[in-house]
Chain A
Amino acid sequence: MSYVPKLPKENVNVSKRHPLLDLATLLGGALAILLGLYFLLGLAVDLTVDHLPADFEADHLAELRFPMETDPDDPFLDPTEDVLERLLDHADDMGYDFELAVAPGNDINAFALPGGGIVIMRALLSQAESENEVAMVLAHELGHFAHRDHLRGLGRGLVIASLSALMFGDDTIGRVLGSTLNLAQLSYSRGQETAADIYGLQLLNKAYGHVGGSTAFFERLLEKDIPGLAWATSHPLSRKRISTIQAHIGQRGYAQQATLPWPPLE
């Protein structure tokens, strides 16, 4: 019997399963678990926030906000505070002791911070063309406080940060799965912004008797819209916001009258 060398017919050491199929099942599983956790913890955040009194927030959570620096001599500070007073006179008491700050910077933006802090960027105030427009922005931020959106945002941000840090650490997989969560978060955030717009519109109507100037701010932002990227932004596109607001004005039959000058005349 002589030895005839032969090679094995098939490779038993390598699985036949296609790597792309492997990727689909593994990625799908990981994302499903993560989104499930995010959904449950997000629900927990919502339930907690609804039962969190405003004074508890002011005592314990106000430290979480970044320092609000404002120039006491800023010419826009006093008139903006007057507008806020006028709105608060017509709003339901939310239990907050509101604090306004005018922040330097070129962003056209405003923020609602834990404990009743409202930061409004100077660029927004200097570019505004009517008092009603500023009132709409402030009323929108008050809407976030009324809906406790600032706490929900904070809570969900914490959920995302701890989920991706706990499960994956700071590696590629964590970043990829984290991006998915961020997209889910952005869609949630767009819903909140629309609700705050509607609240702002109603408050503007109560405080000024009409809703003139309510869309002026968004019309100025319109040129910054990038069509097709709505899913990648925290706020709805300005065009969509304007049409939502106008639809609401039509439904409620709100009046639109001449706007007040900004900054107010002495």
Chain B
Amino acid sequence: MNIDLIVFLTLLVAGYLVGSFIERRHYQSIQKREHELIHQATVPSEVIPTGQYETLGLAIGTVVISVDYFKRFLAGLRNLFGGRVGAYETLIDRARREAVLRMKESYPQADMFLHVRVETSAVGSQHLARRGVACLEVCAYGTAVRKK
């Protein structure tokens, strides 16, 4: 029998089940923490309101996440036809929101984060990238300030 096919199907099913479980759990955590930290505003503007706020420092939140085997396969298939890669949308969404949350968590005493930027890059060796292993780093950074 075709061992390749059996291994592949096992990885696909396991990837789907475990991957969806982890994703659901991560979204629950993200939503909970976003509610908790809602009082800390994130502002993309550079302008620092002088006199009312004091600068706490540079806040950075980074996260590296990877997709499961199932989504990787799905995205690979999508590459044949083109179109929206739905499989990777949740990956990017989770990573971006998690990075912003970590940035906020790094300065719990901050009231606001100014000049907030979010940057994305693919990580992992060229060898892995060629085999389609999607591993994503998102870095969110801004200036943490506090009301005087």
Contacts and interface: CB of A to CB of B under 8 A. Distances in A.
Interface of A: 3, 5-7, 11, 13-15, 17, 19-20, 22-23, 26-27, 29-30, 167, 171-173, 175-176, 179, 182, 229, 232
B77 A232 contact: no
A167 B80 CA distance: 9
B105 to A, nearest CB: 17
B38 A7 contact: yes
A172 B86 contact: no
B2 A17 contact: no
Interface in B1-56: 1-2, 4-5, 8, 16, 34-35, 38-39, 41
Interface in B52-71: 70-71
A174 B34 CA distance: 42
B4 A11 contact: no
A172 B73 contact: yes
28 contacts: A7-B34, A11-B93, A13-B89, A13-B92, A13-B93, A14-B89, A14-B90, A19-B71, A19-B86, A22-B78, A22-B86, A23-B77, A26-B74, A27-B77, A29-B81, A30-B77, A30-B80, A171-B131, A172-B132, A173-B73, A173-B76, A173-B77, A173-B80, A175-B8, A179-B2, A179-B5, A229-B1, A232-B1
A218 B8 CA distance: 34
Contact of B39 (A5, A175, A179): A5
B86 A17 contact: yes
A20 B4 CA distance: 22
Interface in B89-111: 89-90, 92-93
Contact of B89 (A15, A20, A23, A179): A15
A64 to B, nearest CB: 25
Contacts of A29: 81
Given A3-B41, A7-B34, A26-B81, 14 more contacts: A5-B39, A19-B70, A19-B86, A23-B73, A23-B77, A27-B77, A30-B81, A167-B80, A171-B132, A172-B8, A173-B76, A175-B4, A175-B5, A232-B1
Contacts of A167: 80
Tell me the dominant secondary structure on chain A's binding face. Answer: helix
B82 to A, nearest CB: 11
Contacts of B70: 19, 23
Contacts of B81: 26, 29-30
B83 to A, nearest CB: 9
B88 to A, nearest CB: 10
Contacts of B90: 14
A6 B35 CA distance: 9
Nearest to B86: A15
A19 B77 contact: no
Contacts of B1: 229, 232
B127 interface: no
Contacts of A23: 70, 73-74, 77
A117 B38 CA distance: 79
Contact of A7 (B35, B74, B84): B35
Given A172-B8, A173-B76, A232 B2 contact: yes
Contacts of A22: 74, 78, 86-87
A26 B77 contact: yes
Nearest to B76: A173
A29 B92 CA distance: 26
